[in-house]
Structure 1
Amino acid sequence: MNGKVIAIVLILSGAIAGGALYYLQVYGYYTEVQAVPGQDVTLVSLATQEPEPILYDNFRAIDADSSPIRYRACFTTTMTQALLSETYVAATKPQPRTGPGWFDCFDAEKIAAELEAGTAIAFLGHKNIHYGVDQIVAITQDGRGYVWNDLNDCGSKAYDGTVVGEECPARPEDQPKDAPDARPAD
């Protein structure tokens, strides 16, 4: 009899822990991002190498504090791919990251297929939005747009244990405590 009780307790504990883990991974950490008109979608200018806002509408986004690469957004724009290609920096090797299934406007497989087919073009939205993380923006021929965060070369090296090297900036936690704060004044 004791063995049955222990087995039932273990099975129930495992099921509860599994359900909680699933919920936290798929729903728990994500929050809806409040739109900030004129600031939500930016592309890095070829001329200035700085992010600039573009025209957009129908913006939806999610993010999570648990990781800098959980950001996903969808929007529409009236700007053409030709204009964008002449004005903004193209992204190299864009790989959309799969988001949670309930955020149905962002389908990483469909975005990747459109990028491969040439019906979507990816741009650099913001370089080093977090240490080692770039924001990528893909825009389709019909004006649908998608945003996600992805590791850049420095981020890939930093997180896989490879020696980062001199071409990468110092990680924020690696800077000496008495170093001047790099953030702009309020």
Structure 2
Amino acid sequence: MTGKILAILIVITALIAGAGMYYLQVYGFYDEVTVKEVNLVSVVSDAPEPIPFTDFQAIDADSSPIRYRACFKTEMSLPLLTETYVGLEKAEPRNAPDWFDCFDAAKIGAELEAGTALPFLSQKNVHYGVDRIVAITQDGRGYVWHELNDCGEKAYDGTVIGEECPERPATD
């Protein structure tokens, strides 16, 4: 009898722990972003400049520098954007939680692959080793996410960081 009670307690504890971990990963750490901005790096000044946008939605989490996701709309055309701002050769959007339904990484990735959306650099080293990427579609829908840059990939996989990377900020 005692064995059955212990087994039931272990199963119940495991279910509660699993549900708690799932909630924390999918919902718990995310917050709605209150600072609403969309910047792209200018080809002239090599600095981030704001672009006009509407319908901005964004989420972020303090638990990781790559959890930022945002969606917006802009009236700027792709030809104007490509002439004015720094484009990227390749970008892969990261998955967002299912409940943040404006950001569908698979759909954005398909549009990037088809050429109906173009990726741009929004900000270099928004966190150490992490760049902010913006993709904008032909019909003016825009998506923002964070991606590890070369220095970030080296820093997080243990490879020796070369001189081309900025010094890593001190942590307390």
> TM-score normalised to the size of structure 2?
0.98
Aligned length: 172
User: C-alpha displacement at 1:34, in angstroms?
Assistant: 1.4
Alignment of 1:45-60 (within 5 A): 45-60=42-57
Report the aligned-residue RMSD. 1.2
Q: Is the 8 A contact 1:58 1:75 kept in 2?
A: yes
- Output the CA distance in 2 between the equivalents of 1:131 and 1:79: 30
Residue number in structure 2 paired with 1:22: 22
Residue number in structure 2 paired with 1:110: 107
Q: Is the 8 A contact 1:158 1:164 kept in 2?
A: yes
- What residue ranges of structure 1 are gaps of 5+ in the alignment? 178-186
Residue number in structure 1 paired with 2:93: 96
1:61-89 deviation per Cα after TM superposition (whole angstroms, max 9, x unaligned) = 00000001000000000000000000100
User: C-alpha displacement at 1:118, in angstroms?
Assistant: 0.1
1:39-98 deviation per Cα after TM superposition (whole angstroms, max 9, x unaligned) = x10000001110000010000000000001000000000000000000100123201000
SS at match of 1:62: strand
1:145-171 deviation per Cα after TM superposition (whole angstroms, max 9, x unaligned) = 000011000001100111111110110
Aligned: 1:13 with 2:10: no
Residue number in structure 2 paired with 1:184: none
Paired letter, 2:61: A
- Output the CA distance in 2 between the equivalents of 1:4 and 1:172: 53
Alignment of 1:125-164 (within 5 A): 125-164=122-161
- Output the CA distance in 2 between the equivalents of 1:128 and 1:68: 10
- Output the CA distance in 1 between the equivalents of 2:14 and 2:65: 29
Paired letter, 1:11: V
- Output the CA distance in 2 between the equivalents of 1:92 and 1:136: 12
Q: Which runs of 4+ in 1 moved over 2 A?
A: none
% of aligned pairs identical? 65
Paired letter, 1:150: E
Aligned: 1:124 with 2:121: yes
Residue number in structure 1 paired with 2:74: 77
User: C-alpha displacement at 1:35, in angstroms?
Assistant: 4.2
- Output the CA distance in 1 between the equivalents of 2:162 and 2:115: 34
- Output the CA distance in 1 between the equivalents of 2:112 and 2:156: 26
Residue 169 (structure 2) aligned to one of 150, 169, 172:
172
> TM-score normalised to the size of structure 1?
0.90
Q: Is the 8 A contact 1:35 1:59 kept in 2?
A: no
